Structures are given as C-alpha cells and as structure tokens.
Amino acid sequence: MKALTGILGAALIMAVTACGEAGTEESMPNPGEEKDTVTAQASVTATLYYEGACWWLKCANGNTATGACGYGCSDTRLGFARDYSWRLSCGQAVKVAANGRSANATVWDHSCCGRFEGTDALLNALAIGHGDGTCAGKGNFTYGYGQATATFTY
C-alpha cells in the first residue's frame, strides 16, 4: 500500500507540474497581440484607379456625389472607393502605398465598378498621374485616366 501511495503521489506531482507548464504556454499572446494591443495587419495589392474630380462625378452621375458612405464628395480628402469586398467599411482608415510613397486614406465610397478608386488628393499624394474625362450631362461623358498598382494595409 505504501508503494502504491508513493507511486500515486509521484504521478500527481508530475501531473500538476505538467499542467503548470502547459498553462504558461496557453496564456502567452498570439503573434501580433502583445501588450493587449493587436498589431497584426492585413493587406491587399490591387490597381488603384482615379475616381474623378467632384465636378465630374456630379455631372456624370447627375447627383450631388455624396458617395455610398454619405460623407459628400471632396477633392482634398485622402479617400477612396472600395471594391466589392466587405473587408473594408465606410470611414475605415487604411495605409495606401504606391510609387514608393504612402498616405493614410479613408473609405468614403463604394465603387460602382468593383475597383479601388482614389480621390484627386490621394492620387496626388501617391504621385499617380491622372486627369478627368469630359462631361456634358448624366450619361454623356468620357472617363478620365490614371491608375497604378497600390497596396492597402489595414
């Protein structure tokens, strides 16, 4: 009986010690979550197109160009229309990089064409050449130009 008690006691000590070590490993933070702050980021690389100046958007669409987020059009906002995916939401801040430059921009619209489309200010900040098309009224327009490969980090 003494031998059985000794064996059970040793097994219990080993089990408690093993649980303590496993508990330490389980309580360690996941990569990117140190110090109660999530630092892991996601990114997507895609073509960033020029969306058009406010005057052109208003003319071509025949409306006030408030954008799908309701913020209103601004040629000076560092903003962009997001593609069809749901990974980005209205007002979300994103770092956009292209041509060796970067800018912090926000989602202000949802693209009608499933593309990333930047404002005049964003394309200027990223040194992407661009220009507006012509417009004589709703549905009577030509598209502008300007595009570059960009990385969106969020």
Task: Give me the phi and psi of 113, to 5 degrees please.
Answer: -115, 10
Instruction: Judge whether 128 and 116 are in contact, CB under 8 Å.
Output: no
Q: pLDDT at position 24, please?
A: 40
Question: What's the topology of domain 41-153?
Answer: Barwin-like endoglucanases (2.40.40)
Query: Which stretches of the chain drop beneath a pLDDT of 50?
Result: 4-5, 7-38
Q: Find all residues with CB under 8 Å of 25, minimum gap 6, and list them.
A: none
Interior/surface letters 55-70, b for 16+ CB within 10 angstroms, e for the rest? ebbbbbeeeebebebe
121 Rama class: left (phi>0) / alpha (psi -120 to 50) / beta: alpha
The percent of residues above 90 in pLDDT, for the chain, comes to: 70
Residue 87 has a pLDDT of 85
Domain boundaries in the chain?
Answer: 2-35, 41-153
Convert the pLDDT of each residue in 54-97 to its tens digit: 999 999 999 999 999 999 999 999 999 999 887 899 999 999 99
Alpha-carbon distance 125 to 77, whole Å?
A: 11
